[in-house]
Amino acid sequence: MFLKTALLFAGACVAGVLNTATAALTNGHDLSSVSIMETAEGAKWISTSGNITTIETIFSEGGMDAVRLRIWTAGDYDLNYTLAQAQRYAKAGFKIYLDMHFSDTWADPHHQNIPAAWDNSSVETLAADLQAYVTSTLQSFTDGGIDLDILSLGNEITIGFLWPTGKLTTDNYNDFATLWKAARQGVTDAVAAGTKKPQIMIHVDNGWDYAYVTKFFTGLFANGTVTPDDVDAFGFSFYPFYGVEATIDSLNSSLTQLALDYNKPLYVAETNWPVKCENVSLSADYPVSPEGQIQWVDAIKEVLEGLPNGLGAGVFYWEPAYIKVASLGSSCESALLFDVDWSTWPLTYATALSSVNIHSGLARNVETTLYVAPQLVPKRVMEPEVATQFGYSLVGLLHLYHQYVLWKKVSADKDPPTGSHKQTRLDRVPLSLISHVQVLAEVVARRVGGDVGKWCLIVLTKKPIRVERCQVARPVRLPSRSINGLSLLSDVPDTLSHLLAFVLVLLGAHPLGLFFPKYFRLPLITGYLVAGILSGPFLANLLNEDVVGILGSYVNAFALSFISFQAGQEIYLPELRPQIKSIVALLATYYCTAMALGTTVFMLAAGVSFYSGLVHSCQLGIELMFASISVLVSPSTVMGLKVELNSVVPFTHVALGTCMTAEFVVLVSFSVSRVVASIYCAKLAREHRLHHGRRAHEPRARSAARTRDDPHLPAAERPA
């Protein structure tokens, strides 16, 4: 039975082909405020792997291919600022979507103020200023080397723009139509002067409400001033916290009918989902978490991909990095894709949440649900014969895995029906060998760890797969970077999964290590390096950062122990006794040279920013500490050379003796230098803490001052 099951499993693994085809949606973010955050708030962007990098890199790796930028006629988001932002993101390879507000400040369904410099004496003079503004702005972008992909003439203009002249009334769309047509003519004039024509968009709010938006379009096109041919695409805002009616189903119904009515590409031009939100009714039951953000955008994309005639065009997440206004205009506390640390202000560190990968294909290209019965799903939802048939043995688990686990949902059901082992409304998803191994490791780990629930197999477009919970009932544990026995026990499933992956890599590394010396006369370590590359995050991803975080300290401890044991076996005191003088002389020369060079380097670096503010005595202690560390010699290096060269000459024993003795010398030297550094740097540390305490609360005060008069925010969000 086991052999049969194993053969079936292996056949499925080898035959698996990963299919990740999806519709070509535009995947974007509105990043209008990023440079302001970097300048005014000292924002530093930290990737999910913990590295400080650019926001372009973070979102590029997260699947973003377009950037939305708003432009005001004056103020923070004026022409000079927005053009510079467009050049920044276009240089990084992103398409640019320009959102014209036609105002000196925020424009939305509650504010559409005429720019102070424009002539509002009549509709005609206002239209002339509007037309000239659009033309000159587009020409400036062209002169700046920017070809726009999308151009929105107005922002959320369901009630018109340029109020009061262009504000819509129940029966009068004429003035607004005249003004919008003037803006459209401004595009035509710019194109005639050499500007590349972008997609012309009309952007309105509440895209989920078909009656609301279709009333606008019907009224706008009624008198013939503006026709559907003047518009290339429609864009819609769609938020979950302004009314429980804004559901995914209502969005699907509305956009489907609009696609049939107008046959235009349709965008969700603004959306977001909260990660912190209390006492607010949301329109969907996704978790208030990064996972919920992924699921919300994923659901929107499913709607767009399913529209008639392929008219779903793209989705833009609104201001995911607007760290000073984390609520993003809602009544929730935060809808950012970053976790913000203000404690180091005026430098502000924004660490990317897992949802920065919202466009990378997470839960998109292939989504399967691990309905592992009966091991990982409560028995009450499974038919009794299933539980009795497979039991709890490893053989049963393998057979169960092969027969019933990997499925792709093809229905609209959010959860599996009772008896989900059946193939009803479910399709098998073909996977690669590596995918099968990883998922099997996860299944075994969840089984042994007793962790029940529904899990999604995630396949990224450019990155390896991973498994994560589809809907979490409790916060997801992140792997600890400082591992101890207690934290390891608390993450048993992850640990077992990574341990199995590590064992598989070890089994593969051994034959590779023997292969290269035998056939290519290369060192043993070559095979181990190849094994590491093959199993690392750029290929199979069997050994990733999580493995290093969970198992790294233990693997290092075991490896160093075995290296020390082997080195100890090579050191035979009777043979070393005649060479004591040589060992001492070599060690003394090496130690003094390393200490002198290390200290000199740090003395020469005294002007470096992070170092120059320290007093000289504190600098000296730090210099001695780092110089002591530089004396260290790895026993593994010496042992590796000995094995590779098959060296048995006396100098080998001298080198080993020097290396082992240096360990003790470094311990003493480092301890002394650490005491010196701690004494002389203690006063500086106390002063830093006092200074830090005074500044810790300033960012919130600054943020409140900046947002107090922000008209884009509801009254409840503006500080008193």
Q: Where are the domains of the chain?
A: 2-20+365-472, 26-357, 494-568, 571-699
Distance of CA 697 to the CA centre of its chain: 28
| Segments of the chain with pLDDT less than 50 | 1-23, 362-436, 438, 446-491, 609-610, 683-720
Angstrom distance (rounded) from CA 383 to CA 381: 7
206 Cβ contact list (under 8 Å, min separation 6): 158, 212, 213, 236, 237, 238, 242, 246
Does the structural domain 26-357 have CATH classification 3.20.20.80?
A: yes
What does the pLDDT read at residue 473? 29
| Active-site annotation holder among 41, 56, 61, 270 | 270
What does the pLDDT read at residue 567? 63
> How many residues in the chain?
720
| Active-site annotation holder among 38, 41, 61, 156 | 156
Active-site residue, 156 included: yes
The dihedral of CA 386, 389, 393, 396: what is its sign? negative
DSSP 356: G
Angstrom distance (rounded) from CA 214 to CA 142: 34
Angstrom distance (rounded) from CA 588 to CA 585: 5
Angstrom distance (rounded) from CA 101 to CA 83: 15
What does the pLDDT read at residue 223? 87
What does the pLDDT read at residue 433? 45
What does the pLDDT read at residue 392? 35
| Number of C-beta neighbours around residue 609 at 10 A | 6
Ranges of H-type helices in 327-432:
384-390, 394-400
pTM score, two decimals?
Answer: 0.54
Structure tokens at 598: 């290390």
Angstrom distance (rounded) from CA 513 to CA 545: 23
Angstrom distance (rounded) from CA 448 to CA 639: 39
4-55 pLDDT, tens digit per residue, is 333 333 333 323 322 333 347 999 999 999 999 999 999 999 998 889 999 9
| Number of C-beta neighbours around residue 380 at 10 A | 7
What does the pLDDT read at residue 1? 37
Structure tokens at 362: 């997470």
